Structure 1
Amino acid sequence: DSNHNLPIAPNILNRDFYASAPNEKWVGDKNINKNILKVYIYLYDIINLGEGWLYLATVIDLYSRKVVGWSMDDTMKVSLVNDALNMAITHRNPSKGLLWHTDRGSQYASYSHRDLLLKNNITQSMSRKGNCWDNAVAESFFKTLKNHIVYDSYFYTKKQAKYEIFEYIEFFYNRTRSHSYLGNLSPAKFEEINLMLQNEMVA
């Protein structure tokens, strides 16, 4: 929800989706229309009863298109996006100056989220209002995810949905799925090869 009175960060990314190194630019998203995944889970009897909505927030490194942080929850709270970002920070340990680009949603504009960015020396950038192209990489990830498992899958429980989404992110998208942008390598393989080349140059 971008209809709020919280501070809005400038669009520093400005659709420059190229990054020359890991942890230089991250993008995130979290809305059904702006790419938070909403998976409706039906009970076994296949009627309009269900366990409710499941929300997913992600953090993607523009260098390799790798999902470096993610979080799932029953509600779209600030903790949803904070947990995803904290996961990325813990796993990647970015240096000062990392650019973090998202939409203008109240979760990303919240004082709690901005405090997290300040604590970790992360620069905030936000899309222009109602402009999905300003965050096209994050949008593309969710479109791919929904095409692969959401539209073609039947989830009986939230536990099942969480497990399948986890498997998709960590084992298929990050480690197996090739990206034309990366020379038809997976994000993990792209990072592995480039790290090896950098180490050879230093040696």
Structure 2
Amino acid sequence: YSRRLLGAATGLHPDAELACAAINMAVATRGGIEEVHQSGWREDPSKRAIFHTDRGSTYTAHAFTKLCQDLDIRQSMGRVGSCFDNAAAEAFFSSLEWEVLSQHTFENTRAARAAVLDWCYGFYNHDRRHSTIGMVSPISYETAAATEPEAA
């Protein structure tokens, strides 16, 4: 809802192991599995986390689907050949490619990883303004949402 990047794993291959690392980071960002279980999703399934992806082998691999089941994350997959139902992720990767990868030449994978993670967790979450959330950063949007009184 906030465009906040919760988990960003890096690796040489886009495989299920990498996706599992990112999901585990996201769960840790939201307070860990105990917090997820205490969030009330069992009583109210609308609070259950949903992870939307394409139908690639990364997200259909046994290790990834099992992890989602273990973490009570509902998998959602788009139609074959359609990028439009995953527009937020497509926009994120387009921004990453344009703002980081195309603007730098990296000496090695360590330097590339550092630049990507700094952009993700530093600039993207804290400073980059998004038109879909009122031209504020994801962290600012979540902070404002957390301090607003709930509607009656």
* TM-score clears 0.5: yes
| Structure 2 residue matching 1:101: 3-state secondary structure | strand
- Alpha-carbon distance in 2 for matches of 1:75, 1:140: 21
Tell me the equivalent position of 2:45. none
User: Following superposition of structure 1 onto structure 2, how do residues 1-203 of structure 1 map, counting pairs within 5 Å?
Assistant: 63-92=1-30, 93=32, 94=36, 95=39, 96=41, 97-198=48-149
Name the amino acid aligned to 2:24: N
Post-superposition CA distance 1:139-175 (Å, at most 9, x none) = 0001011111111111111111111101100110000
Deviation at 1:99, TM superposition (A): 1.2
**Which 4+ runs in 1 deviate beyond 3 A?**
93-96
Normalised to the residue count of structure 1, the TM-score between the two structures is 0.65
| Structure 2 residue matching 1:173: 3-state secondary structure | helix
Post-superposition CA distance 1:106-154 (Å, at most 9, x none) = 1110111111111111111101111111111000001011111111111
| Structure 2 residue matching 1:124: 3-state secondary structure | strand
Name the amino acid aligned to 2:110: K
- Alpha-carbon distance in 1 for matches of 2:15, 2:131: 34
Unpaired segments of 5 or more residues in structure 2?
42-47
Greater C-alpha radius of gyration: 1
Percent of paired sites with the same residue? 33
Name the amino acid aligned to 2:23: L
Name the amino acid aligned to 1:100: F
Q: Where is the strand percentage greater, Structure 1 or Structure 2?
A: 1
Unpaired segments of 5 or more residues in structure 1?
1-62
- Alpha-carbon distance in 1 for matches of 2:10, 2:146: 30
Q: Where is the helix percentage greater, Structure 1 or Structure 2?
A: 2
| Structure 1 residue matching 2:51: 3-state secondary structure | strand
Name the amino acid aligned to 1:104: R
RMSD (Å) for aligned C-alpha atoms: 1.4
- Alpha-carbon distance in 1 for matches of 2:51, 2:126: 23
Name the amino acid aligned to 1:143: S
- Alpha-carbon distance in 1 for matches of 2:110, 2:131: 32
